[in-house]
Structure 1
C-alpha cells in the first residue's frame, strides 16, 4: 500500500427524513462532515492499511443546504502526503433531490450535482 497524491474515495448515501432537524426538512451541516470522516477512513485504509485518526479541518465551507430526501455523495482526495500525516480535500454534492411538489415519492437527478460542503483536513496514520 502506498499513499499517492490524487487518490480519492467516494461514498453515496440517502438522507432519511429522520435526520431533518430544522424547518423545510433541512439537515445540519455536520451530516456532510460525518460523511467526510467516513471517506477519509476508507482512503487511509486503502493507502496505509489503517483507519487513521482525524486531526482537524483547516477550512470548511457550507455552500448550500442538505435536505431530507437528498442523495448525497462525499469525496475525499489526497492532496499531500507527509511521514505520518495525510492532507485531504473533501467535497459533498447532492446528486438527487426529493420533489414533493410532484408527489410524496417524486425526486429528480441533479445534473450537475449541487455542491453543499467543501473542506480541507488532516489525518494521522501510524508510522
Structure 2
C-alpha cells in the first residue's frame, strides 16, 4: 500500500535563502549572471513539486522572466515560489528572487556586509512544471 498523495493547495508558498559565493561572479563589480537565479528557480520548483505531488516534477518552461536588479557575489538571496494554478498534470508557479543582504567589503573590512532594510527585487518569473498523472491508490 502506498501513502496517499498530498493535495496541492493554491497559494502554497516555498521559501529558500542562499548566500551567493564569490566563485559565481562573472562580470565586473562582482556581478552574477542571470542563470544563477534561474538555477534557484529550478531548485525551489522541485521542492514545490515534492510538497504538492510527492514527485520532483519537471520544469516545462517559463512564460515570463524579468531581471529587475543586479545580483552580486556576497548577496544573501531569498527565493520564493507560489503555486498559482493547478492543472491535471501541470502547476503554474510565480517565482521571485529578492536580495535581502549585501556584501560591502572595504579595504579596512574585507568581510563587511549588511542585511537590507528593504529587500531588492532582483528577478521574477512565471513558470510551468509537469508532474506525473495522479492515480487512485488502494
Is it true that 1:121 corresponds to 2:98 in the alignment?
no
Unaligned stretches of 5+ in structure 1?
none
Specify the structure having the higher radius of gyration (Cα): 2
Is it true that 1:67 corresponds to 2:72 in the alignment?
yes
* TM-score (norm. length: structure 1): 0.98
Q: What displacement does 1:73 show?
A: 1.3
Secondary structure of 2:41's match? Answer: helix
Q: What displacement does 1:103 show?
A: 1.9
Q: What displacement does 1:111 show?
A: 1.6
RMSD: 0.8
Alignment of 1:1-127 (within 5 A): 1-101=6-106, 103-127=109-133
Secondary structure of 2:115's match? Answer: strand
Q: Distance in 2 between matches of 1:61 and 1:121?
A: 12
Secondary structure of 1:46's match? Answer: helix
Q: Distance in 1 between matches of 2:74 and 2:126?
A: 26
Larger strand share, 1 or 2: 1
